Amino acid sequence: MKKKKLQGFTLLEMMVVLFVISILLLLFVPNIMTQKQSADKKAEASIVKVVETQMEVYELDHGERPDLDVLVTEKYITKDQKDRYEAAQKP
């Protein structure tokens, strides 16, 4: 009686594949984190610019410098923008 040889991967082949995948992860994960931090900083700078621009628009419309609550009440900015601006201003 002949034994039928089963098709499949050897343990060595599986270990090589896992090694290659782990090397790729080591290369890409730090780069992705750096890109995310860079994007977060740019988003923060954008929010600051938008709120400051809306303050100038309000000042041109009403002749006085507003605080953030007035900008939200008058719908120049959203509450989310106000919260993000305040978070960006904290050291």
Give 51-91 pLDDT, tens digit per residue: 999 999 999 999 999 999 999 999 999 999 999 999 998 87
Longest dimension (CA), the chain: 99
The pTM score is: 0.67
Residue 66 within any structural domain of the chain: yes
Residue 23 within any structural domain of the chain: no
Going from the C-alpha of 18 to that of each of 8, 14, 15, 31, 86, the distances in angstroms are 16, 6, 5, 20, 45
Whether residue 47 contacts residue 30, with contact meaning beta carbons closer than 8 Å, is answered with no
| Number of domains making up the chain | 1
Residue 65 within any structural domain of the chain: yes
Where in the sequence is the domain holding 70, given as residue range(s)?
40-91
Residue 21 within any structural domain of the chain: no
Whether residue 88 contacts residue 51, with contact meaning beta carbons closer than 8 Å, is answered with no
